[in-house]
Structures are given as structure tokens and as C-alpha cells.
């Protein structure tokens, strides 16, 4: 064993899992462990897994297998950890298995298998903790779990009911991130619009002032910090309407990530989706009236059990009218433990995939037209990456990793993390091209 006990870390899954990884890494550094960049240098490896769909389960099991082959001492955590029979069935030599957001249990397990150093280098830990994202943006997790029971989803059985973090704690974390140089805060959770419902919007304190644990108040406070604030996983509840003026006023980025999943009322009902009875098209129209530049991204599932040709056509017709900016689509595949598996009339996998591709092709024109409408306009971008071919940034309309980019071919003097004013000159299906102004 090396002098300073060293832990390797493999982080899989969604931004919520990334935040869990960051918490564990922060604790490890706080206690004086070293973080190894490779398997050989590590005395033990933690694998933070994803178990959302079967492909993610495979990927997680492969990652565990690789860590075992390369290092031999492996602790498993994250969503797949809820199914410890699956993990231990495939890899019985794993040292310990815990579920998601289980920082304490993971730390206890690490202490058992790799005792902590006597002299913690507490001062080596930056106050904002350790992050896996670039320095200029960070995810801010505001709650865990979910009160809904969408029939295709096993997240509530893995992560439990909604538990909102106290607003004072969330805002202090955001302040530390901003002090550390973060320029864009991405608000995440399973159901962002429900923030505070479980706490009955209890009054908390921030900077000595009372403030309600509610999304609107949270957004206003974040909006006063002088950084970009982007909302993910928002459902189209009536309460969301009140956030749109904050976007129009520049306090929040004019961007909403709303996972609609379908548009046919029959299928939405079978999916048990929240807010499915709302008149979504009318709501989108009003949002655009209040804030014309709002970018809306969404995801959809094709081939859900019982989906007929008419349901699918209803979905395409919704897309035609909604004219969303960015769309992702998944072909339905059964997830072990989801109640949708029991629904009648399963759609053959090939048909589900065919519909997924048709949907994406259908949307391609709409997304391209939405991007084309931006040619000639000026906007601010934040730069994520620079290489010899140009600088790659994002405007208010693009979230990291899931949306396209704004590419500035002439990158001379541009640095990662820089905010820059550009003029959009061209676009393709996903990305925009731009030149610097001023």
C-alpha cells in the first residue's frame, strides 16, 4: 500500500450521480485520502453506478468488472447498488455495495477496507468541495427522490420520495460555487418544480433573511448572484408560469428542460406522468409570449406499451405545433421493477426504434429552423473548450453535454470559462457557428 491511502473513482450516470460522486470525493480529500487517476496507483476503487435502463446496467457491470480485473478491490455505490443481488451475482468479489446518495455508508465502507490516514490534510480541500465539471459551471442538486410514480421509472423505488434540501443550505452552496469562480449554476433534481413541497415550503434563512423553501424564491435568490442559472427537469405545472418573467428579466437563463415524454393523453395516463392534464401547447405559447427567446428542450419515449399509430401521430403533431428547440428520444425498453412491464399491448422493439428515428427526423427540420432563426443575432456565450479548430461554447439556449454548441472558429486569445459576445453566422442541425464581436 502506498504511504497515503489512495482511492480510484469511476463515476457513471446522470448529473445527479455526478453530484453524489463529488460529495464522496470531497469527503475523501477532507479526510486526507489521495485520489488516484489510474487503477494501478489506487489501493481501492469506488464505482458509482447507474441502473436507469438495461444498457446502463450493462455499462455499470462492465465498469465493475474492469475495476476488479485492473485493481481487485472494489466498492460499488449508486443506483445499481439498490439491486445488490445483480451486482454480487455478476461480481461476488466486490467488497461492499450501497445505493445512491449514500456518502456516509460509502465512507464507512472505505474506512473498513482502507483505514483513513492519521493526519487529515483538511486544508487541501477547497471550500466549495471537489467538482467533476469544468471550473466555470457546476450542478446544484436541490432535492433527492420523487413523489411521482411514472410507470416506466424505478427512480422512486431506488431514491425514495421527494426530500428537499433546506433552502439556506442550497443557497450557501451556490454562494461558495460562485466565490470559487463558477459562472453557470445548473439546478438539478428528479422534479425541480416540486422543490419544497415535502417541507410545506417551510421558511429557512439565508444571509439572516427569512426565505421560503420554494422554487420561485430559490430562483430569485440564485438570480441575484450574478451568474447564469439554468433549470433542468421542470414539469409544466401552473407554478412554473411564474418563473418565466424571471427569465424575461434576465435573472434566470431563458431555458427550460421539460421532459414531456409523450403527447397522447392515453399514453401520458398510462405513463402516470405528472401534469399530464395540463394544456401544454397553450402553456408553451404563453411562455413564449412572456419570454420570446426561451429555449425549450425535452425528451420523449416511443413505443411505450399500448402506443398505437394514432398515438404516435399525435406525438408528431404535438412536435409540429410546439416547435421545441431541442429534442431527445428513447425507444421504450422495459426496466426491471417498473410497473409498465405489466401493461398490455407491448410494442415490438423494432417498431419502437423505427418510431424513435422517425420522430428525430421529423424534429430535425424544426430544430434546424429554430437555430436558423438565430443567424445574424448577437448573444453571450461561455466557452467550454478550446482547441486548434476553434472555441466551443454555449449560449443561454444550450446546456452542457445534452444540447449542441456555439462554435467560434477563430479562437485566438479565447480561454476556457470566458464569457464572450458573439454574432451567430451559420448553423447545422445541432450546432451554431459564430464570430466574436467587439
Residues that bind ligand SF4 (CB under 6 A): 146, 148-150, 153, 155-156, 190-191, 274
Distant-in-sequence, close-in-space partners of 277: CB < 8 Å, separation ≥ 6: 265
* Residue 222 beta carbon to ligand SF4: minimum distance, rounded to whole angstroms: 22
Give min distance, CB of 155 to ligand SF4, in A: 4
Q: Compute CA distances 19 → 23, 25, 131, whole Å.
A: 6, 10, 8
Closest approach of ligand SF4 to the CB of residue 152, in Å: 7
- Considering the complex, what minimum distance in angstroms separates the CB of residue 426 from ligand SF4? 36
> Phi, psi at residue 99, to the nearest 5°?
-85, -165
Comparison of 339 and 418: residue with beta carbon closer to ligand SF4? 339
- Select 120 or 306, whichever has its Cβ closest to ligand SF4: 306
Identity of the residue, 39 or 237, whose beta carbon is nearer to ligand SF4 in the bound complex: 237
**Smallest distance from ligand SF4 to CB 145, Å:** 8
Smallest distance from ligand SF4 to CB 146, Å? 3
Task: Report the run of H or E that residue 171 belongs to, with start and end.
Answer: helix 167-179
- Alpha-carbon distance 227 to 325, whole Å? 23
Smaller CB separation from ligand SF4, 116 or 149 = 149
Looking at beta carbons only, is 168 or 274 nearer to ligand SF4? Answer: 274
> Do the Cβ atoms of 46 and 7 come closer than 8 Å?
yes
The Cβ of residue 122 has, within 10 Å, a number of other Cβ atoms equal to 10
Task: Characterise 341 by phi-psi region: left (phi > 0), alpha (psi -120 to 50), beta (else).
Answer: alpha
Q: Least separation, in Å, of the C-beta of 151 and ligand SF4?
A: 9
Instruction: Output DSSP code: residue 115.
Output: P
How far is Cα 120 from Cα 55, in angstroms, rounded to an integer?
A: 39
Residue 2 corresponds to which cell in the numbers above? 502506498
CA dihedral 201, 202, 203, 207 (to 10 degrees): -90
Q: How far is CA 46 from the centre of its chain?
A: 21
Residues 6+ apart with CB under 8 A from 56: 12, 13, 49, 50, 79, 80
What span, in angstroms and rounded, lies between the C-alpha atoms of 183 and 405?
17
Beta bridge partners of 212: 203
Q: Name which of 71 and 193 has its Cβ closer to ligand SF4.
A: 193
CB of 220 to ligand SF4, least distance (A): 24
Return the number of the residue (327 or 391) whose C-beta is nearest ligand SF4. 327
Cα 218 to Cα 140: distance, rounded to the nearest angstrom: 12
Q: What is the C-alpha to C-alpha distance for residues 104 and 93, in angstroms, rounded to an integer?
A: 22
CB nearer ligand SF4, residue 28 or residue 150: 150
Q: How far is the CB of 171 from ligand SF4 (least distance, A)?
A: 24
Residue pointed to by grid coordinates 444498457: 55
The torsion region of residue 54 among left (phi > 0), alpha (psi -120 to 50) and beta comes to: alpha
Q: Cβ 243 to ligand SF4, closest distance in Å?
A: 18
For ligand SF4, give the closer residue by CB, 110 or 275: 275
Nearest-approach distance from CB 218 to ligand SF4, in angstroms? 19
Our CB check for ligand SF4 shows the closer of 16 and 230 to be 16
Q: How many CA atoms lie within 13 A of 235 on its CB side?
A: 20
Nearer to ligand SF4, 238 or 245 (CB): 238
DSSP 261: B
Q: Which of 11, 60, 75 is nearest to 37 (CA)?
A: 11
Amino acid at each position: 500500500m502506498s504511504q497515503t491511502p489512495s482511492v480510484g473513482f469511476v463515476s457513471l450516470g446522470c448529473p445527479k450521480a455526478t453530484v453524489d460522486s463529488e460529495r464522496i470525493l470531497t469527503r475523501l480529500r477532507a479526510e486526507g485520502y489521495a485520489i488516484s487517476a489510474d487503477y494501478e496507483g489506487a489501493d481501492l476503487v469506488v464505482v458509482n453506478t447507474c441502473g436507469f435502463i438495461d444498457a446502463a446496467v450493462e455499462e455499470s457491470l462492465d465498469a465493475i468488472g474492469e475495476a476488479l480485473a485492473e485493481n481487485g478491490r472494489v466498492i460499488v455505490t449508486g443506483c445499481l447498488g439498490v439491486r445488490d443481488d445483480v451486482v454480487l451475482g455478476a461480481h461476488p468479489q466486490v467488497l461492499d455495495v450501497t445505493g445512491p446518495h449514500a456518502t456516509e455508508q460509502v465512507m464507512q465502507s472505505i474506512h473498513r477496507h482502507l483505514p483513513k490516514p492519521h493526519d487529515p490534510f483538511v486544508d487541501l480541500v477547497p471550500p466549495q468541495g471537489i467538482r467533476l465539471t469544468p471550473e466555470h459551471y457546476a450542478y446544484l442538486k436541490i432535492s433527492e427522490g420523487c413523489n411521482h410514480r411514472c410507470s416506466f421509472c424505478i427512480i422512486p423505488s431506488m431514491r425514495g420520495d421527494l426530500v428537499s434540501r433546506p433552502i439556506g443550505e442550497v443557497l450557501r452552496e451556490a454562494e461558495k460555487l460562485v466565490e470559487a469562480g463558477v459562472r453557470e449554476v445548473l439546478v438539478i433534481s428528479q422534479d425541480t418544480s416540486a422543490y419544497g413541497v415535502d417541507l410545506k415550503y417551510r421558511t429557512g434563512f439565508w444571509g439572516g433573511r427569512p426565505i421560503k423553501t420554494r422554487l420561485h424564491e430559490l430562483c430569485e435568490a440564485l438570480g441575484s448572484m450574478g451568474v447564469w442559472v439554468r433549470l433542468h427537469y421542470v414539469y409544466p405545472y401552473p407554478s412554473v408560469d411564474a418563473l418565466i418573467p424571471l427569465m424575461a428579466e434576465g435573472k434566470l437563463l431563458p431555458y427550460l428542460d421539460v421532459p414531456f415524454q409523450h403527447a397522447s393523453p392515453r399514453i401520458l395516463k398510462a405513463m402516470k406522468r405528472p401534469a399530464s392534464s395540463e394544456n401544454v401547447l397553450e402553456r408553451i405559447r404563453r411562455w413564449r409570449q412572456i419570454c420570446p427567446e426561451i429555449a425549450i428542450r425535452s425528451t420523449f419515449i416511443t413505443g411505450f406499451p399500448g402506443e398505437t399509430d394514432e398515438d404516435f401521430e399525435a406525438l408528431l403533431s404535438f412536435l409540429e405545433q410546439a416547435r421545441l428547440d431541442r429534442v431527445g428520444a428513447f425507444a421504450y425498453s422495459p426496466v426491471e421493477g417498473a410497473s409498465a412491464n405489466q401493461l398490455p399491448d407491448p410494442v415490438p422493439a423494432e417498431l419502437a426504434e423505427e418510431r424513435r428515428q422517425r420522430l428525430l427526423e421529423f424534429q430535425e427540420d424544426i430544430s434546424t429552423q429554430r437555430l436558423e432563426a438565430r443567424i445574424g443575432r448577437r448573444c453571450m456565450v461561455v466557452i467550454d473548450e478550446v482547441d486548434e479548430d476553434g472555441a466551443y461554447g454555449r449560449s443561454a439556449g444550450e446546456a452542457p453535454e445534452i444540447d449542441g454548441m456555439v462554435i467560434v472558429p477563430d479562437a485566438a486569445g479565447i480561454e476556457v470559462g470566458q464569457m464572450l459576445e458573439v454574432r451567430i453566422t451559420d448553423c447545422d442541425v445541432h450546432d451554431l457557428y459564430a464570430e466574436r464581436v467587439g
